[in-house]
Amino acid sequence: MKILVAIKRVVDYNVRVQVKPDGSGVAIDGVKMSINPFDEIAVEEALRIKEQGKADEVVVVTIGDDASQQQLRTAMAMGADRAILVNSEQAVQPLQAAQVLLKVIEKEQPGLVITGKQAIDDDNNQTPQMLATLWNRPQATFVSEIEFTDKGLQATREVDAGLQTIEVELPAVISTDLRLNEPRFVKLPDIMKAKKKPLETLAIDDLASERSNHRIEASQYEPPQPRQKGVMVESVEELVNMLKDKGLLS
């Protein structure tokens, strides 16, 4: 079985992004970029499945500009076998990303697609579900555990009420939650090795020339409303009295 892992280059999760003063976007020039953390978990999971002998190839794909090669190389340093860059200068939105990834699926015929549940830049949480829909295959979103079965796989999903388990036939799309695994650290020799692994570049218009429009347009960026400065208290007694005065505790 081949596993396709879709990743995205995003601002590193430790960076506190700032809105530009003119409200035209967020300032990301020169900040550290990384693989979206949920996608890194997806890469790790694919590698573990391969290491258990249940898959024979892990292919990573991303849609982005040339700089995204860096994240594909990192994924290959983790252990992915090869990479595909779908080159696009313009950022794609979830539906368009799903349409492009579907073309990659048609080409690669994977038995399983794993990707992060959301990218931590636009926080959309849409692409995996849309991809499963266009592909007409099952989805297991927000997954924290996978177990292969005769029928396909059982996925444990992190839902508001607790943990939901569903069973899906393969091929399927899985979107990862945080507790699925802890991604491995990349070692220097592996970074060297990853430089020799194949990285194929496809132009987005050659791959998926007809993509639906209906973009969501962003017109104005603003920082969140700051909370009013709080007060520090010195004792539990003072704290309790203050909360009682506010009517929050009785």
Partner 1 sequence: MSKVFILAEHNGDSINQSTAKVLTAAKQLNADTIDMVLFAPNVDLANELTQFEGVATVHVVTCDDNHDQLAASIAPTIADMAQGYSHVWGPSTTFGKDVMPRVAALMGVNQISDIMEVIDSNNYKRPIYAGNAIITVSTDSDHQVATVRTASYEADKTDGGSAEIKESSLETAAEHTSFVKLATGDSDRPDLQTAAKVISGGRGVGSKENFDMVFELADKIGAATGASRAAVDAGYVPNDMQVGQTGKIIAPDLYMCFGISGAIQHLTGIKDAGTIVAINKDADAPIFEVADIGLVGDLFKVIPEMTEKL
Q: Which residues, 207 to 246, sit near partner 1 by CB under 8 A?
A: 212, 214-224, 227-228, 230-237, 239-240, 242-243, 246
Which residue lies nearer to partner 1 by CB, 69 or 126? 126
CB 119 to partner 1: min, Å: 10
Which residue lies nearer to partner 1 by CB, 152 or 191? 152
Which residue lies nearer to partner 1 by CB, 79 or 171? 171
Per DSSP, the three-state class of 6 is strand
Is 94 near partner 1 (CB under 8 A)? yes
Tokens representing 175 are 């979107």
Is 17 near partner 1 (CB under 8 A)? yes
Residue 100's φ and ψ, nearest 5 degrees, are -70, -45
Measured CA to CA, the distance from residue 64 to residue 9 in angstroms comes to 8
Is 95 near partner 1 (CB under 8 A)? yes
Bond prior to 171 in cis (omega within 30° of 0)? yes
The answer for residues whose C-beta is within 8 angstroms of residue 239's C-beta and 6 or more apart is 233
Per DSSP, the three-state class of 72 is helix
Contact 100/92 with Cβ under 8 angstroms?
Answer: yes
Is 21 near partner 1 (CB under 8 A)? no
What binding mask, one character per residue, do residues 156-195 give for partner 1 by CB under 8 A, x or -? -xxxxxxxxxxxxx--x----xxx----------------
Is 150 near partner 1 (CB under 8 A)? no
Is 16 near partner 1 (CB under 8 A)? yes
What binding mask, one character per residue, do residues 31-70 give for partner 1 by CB under 8 A, x or -? ----------------------------------------
CA atoms within 13 A on the CB side of 38: 25
CB 204 to partner 1: min, Å: 17
Contact 83/199 with Cβ under 8 angstroms?
Answer: yes
CB 192 to partner 1: min, Å: 32
Is 8 near partner 1 (CB under 8 A)? no
CB 18 to partner 1: min, Å: 8
CA 48 to chain CA centroid, Å, is 18
Q: How many residues bind partner 1 (CB under 8 A)?
A: 82
CB 113 to partner 1: min, Å: 14
Between strands 82-87 and 199-203, the pairing is parallel
Question: C-alpha dihedral over 131, 135, 138, 144, to 10 degrees?
Answer: -30
Measured CA to CA, the distance from residue 204 to residue 118 in angstroms comes to 22
Is 248 near partner 1 (CB under 8 A)? yes
